[in-house]
Chain A
Amino acid sequence: MTGQEVAFLLLAVVGGLAGLLVVTSRNIVHAALYLVVALASVAGVYLLLAAPFVAFVQVIIYVGAIVVLILFGIMLTRAPVGRRVLDNTLRARVGAFVIGLGLFTMLTWFMADAWAGKRITGHAVTATAALGTSLFRNYVLPFEAVSILLLAALIGAIVLARRD
């Protein structure tokens, strides 16, 4: 068990537990904070998978902007607290649990069938320069499309949330 695997298992346990607590917590603010832990552990996993730039983008945008946006949304919608308000009926929750468990089993089964025994080898960390070259040379069209999408989302959010 290499050091990389030990580190990954720690991050995966923490991140998985945090993800589970996001969807089962009774307090919505706690759920948002557990989301921070889950997203930060995913950033750690990116570092272990030799993707430092994606890890930094994850922390800056997800933890730094999206979670803050979610917390503002919780604040502005008068964060309701309590099992009855936050969760669906018991029947719906049992059904959702069955679906989630079935999905996880099915995905793991198929993935183990296809990629059991394959290993991620090599320690070459992806240089940000290489990522930038690829982004602006090979994927410049999706990049421009995403820029326009972000502009549209920005204008749309301002128009929607305007008080008039």
Chain B
Amino acid sequence: MPLLYPLVFAAFLFSAGVYGVLARRNAVMVLMSVELMLNAVNVNLVAFNAYLKDQLNSGQVFALFVVAVAAAEVGIGLAIVLLIFRNRETVNIDEVDLLRW
């Protein structure tokens, strides 16, 4: 298949993730949009691995690393969201602004 097919798919998922991070107010929604972006990056990595026929399969190995790091990040992110909810009864990211100027 043309190399552009998976690349454009990845670009679309990434742009949707960027929209989600900017346009959503709920912290869990923002985490879901970040997952979309990470998946787009993974599709890119695996597509180039297939295109370049890498001997070491580096693209797929890095995709596995990205999946592992994303899992760790979602775990910690949700723990933080839970802690915020426990203290403030809200997960609206606009209302968590103590560190702002």
Given A86-B25, A86-B26, are A35 and B11 also a contact pair (CB < 8 Å)? no
Considering only residues 1-41 of chain B, those with a C-beta below 8 Å from chain A are 1-9, 11-20, 22-29, 31-33, 35-36, 39
- For residue B99, CB closer than 8 A to chain A, the reply is no
What is the size, in residues, of chain A's interface with B at 8 Å between Cβ atoms? 88
B residues adjacent to A (C-beta < 8 A):
1-9, 11-20, 22-29, 31-33, 35-36, 39, 42-43, 46-47, 49-51, 53, 56-58, 60-61, 63-65, 67-76, 78-83, 85-86, 91-92, 94
Secondary structure dominating the interface of A: helix
Subset of 25 A-B contacts with CB under 8 Å: A32-B32, A35-B35, A42-B13, A45-B9, A53-B60, A54-B42, A62-B70, A66-B74, A74-B28, A86-B25, A86-B26, A87-B24, A97-B23, A99-B19, A111-B4, A115-B3, A120-B2, A120-B50, A134-B61, A146-B65, A149-B69, A156-B79, A157-B79, A161-B79, A163-B86
Total inter-chain residue pairs, C-beta < 8 Å: 252
Give 16 A-B pairs besides A35-B35, A138-B56 with Cβ atoms closer than 8 angstroms.
A8-B6, A19-B17, A32-B32, A54-B67, A61-B68, A66-B70, A66-B71, A70-B32, A88-B25, A96-B18, A96-B19, A103-B14, A104-B15, A143-B65, A146-B68, A157-B76
